């Protein structure tokens, strides 16, 4: 089953990562990139820049991935802010492949930041639909997916409300775009993503730069 196969991969490459924890990048060597930049919120210009940057980073992350990669999706219940159907995301995969995806409701440990002055991080049990697939990148309409993520908080349609992660089990590289503000690239070894760290250094989120730089010191290849 795809769920067991993905968790087995996590156990080997990312031992801190559990499918039921909603944090597949926890404890890993990662780069956080700025996407929307200084472009005004609620504008097509911001959405377009976020989409284009994310698409560039995605392609550079998985440029060697001619094989199948894992897709992990968390779908929360209820309509999103624009009432876009959750099915929009799933239409970006071939129908004949999507029917073979793992898709079940599960209780997971979801984290959220309290809306108070302390901004404390809390964890609660939530029921979500967990969707897992494994397919070739060429069979994913990735630009539509990234654009849908960028659209969500900017008020444009179609938008994607689910959280979606991509994992390459051969190169041990992974990617997630969280919204128009930014995305993550991560691995279990700094050398796996050193090229994109160098090439897209200007896009790194400044407030995280010092921490990210630590991962790529020559004496710290494994993020220890």
pLDDT at residue 92 in the model: 98
Extract the runs of DSSP E, i.e. beta strands, from the chain: 29-34, 68-76, 102-113, 121-136, 163-168, 173-179, 182-187
Decide if pLDDT at 224 tops 50.
no
Tell me if 80 sits within 8 A of 87, measured CB to CB. no
- Tally of CB atoms within 10 A around 40: 9
pLDDT at residue 122 in the model: 63
pLDDT at residue 121 in the model: 57
3-class DSSP state for residue 108? strand
3-class DSSP state for residue 67? coil
- Which residues fall within 8 angstroms of residue 28, CB to CB, at 6 or more apart? 14, 16, 17, 174, 186, 187, 188, 223
Distances (CA, A) of 109 to 20, 46, 79, 130, 183: 6, 32, 21, 12, 22
At residue 26, what are phi and psi to the nearest 5 degrees?
-60, 130
Question: Average of pLDDT values for 149-175?
Answer: 94
pLDDT at residue 132 in the model: 98
pLDDT at residue 82 in the model: 58
Tell me if 142 sits within 8 A of 55, measured CB to CB. yes
- Per-residue DSSP letter, 96: H
Question: Average of pLDDT values for 108-126?
Answer: 65
pLDDT at residue 16 in the model: 86
Question: Average of pLDDT values for 86-110?
Answer: 94
Q: Round to whole Å and give the CA distance between 129 and 108.
A: 10
Which residue did the predictor score with more confidence, 155 or 195?
A: 195
The model's pTM? 0.91
Tell me if 73 sits within 8 A of 131, measured CB to CB. yes
Decide if pLDDT at 220 tops 60.
no
* Edge-to-edge strand ranges of the sheet holding 173-179: 29-34, 182-187, 173-179, 163-168, 68-76, 121-136, 102-113
């Amino acid at each position: 089953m795809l769920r067991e196969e993905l968790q087995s991969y996590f156990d080997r490459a990312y031992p801190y990562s559990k499918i039921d924890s909603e944090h597949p990048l926890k404890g890993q060597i990662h780069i956080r990139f700025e996407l929307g930049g200084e472009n005004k919120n609620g504008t097509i210009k911001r959405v377009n820049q976020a989409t284009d940057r994310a698409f560039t980073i995605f392609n550079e992350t998985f440029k060697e991935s001619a094989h199948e990669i894992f897709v992990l999706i968390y779908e929360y219940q209820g309509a999103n802010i624009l009432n876009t159907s959750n099915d929009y995301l799933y239409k970006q995969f071939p129908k004949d492949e999507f029917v073979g995806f793992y898709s079940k409701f599960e209780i997971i440990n979801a984290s959220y930041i309290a809306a108070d002055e302390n901004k404390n991080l809390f964890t609660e049990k939530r029921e979500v639909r967990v969707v897992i697939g494994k397919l070739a990148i060429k069979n994913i309409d990735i630009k539509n997916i990234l654009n849908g993520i960028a659209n969500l908080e900017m008020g444009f349609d179609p938008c994607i409300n689910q959280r979606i992660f991509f994992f390459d089990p051969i190169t041990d590289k992974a990617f997630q775009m969280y919204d128009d503000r930014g995305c993550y690239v991560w691995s279990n070894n700094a050398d796996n993503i050193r090229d994109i760290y160098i090439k897209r250094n200007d896009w790194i989120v400044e407030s995280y730069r010092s921490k990210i730089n630590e991962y790529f010191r020559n004496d710290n290849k494994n993020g220890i």
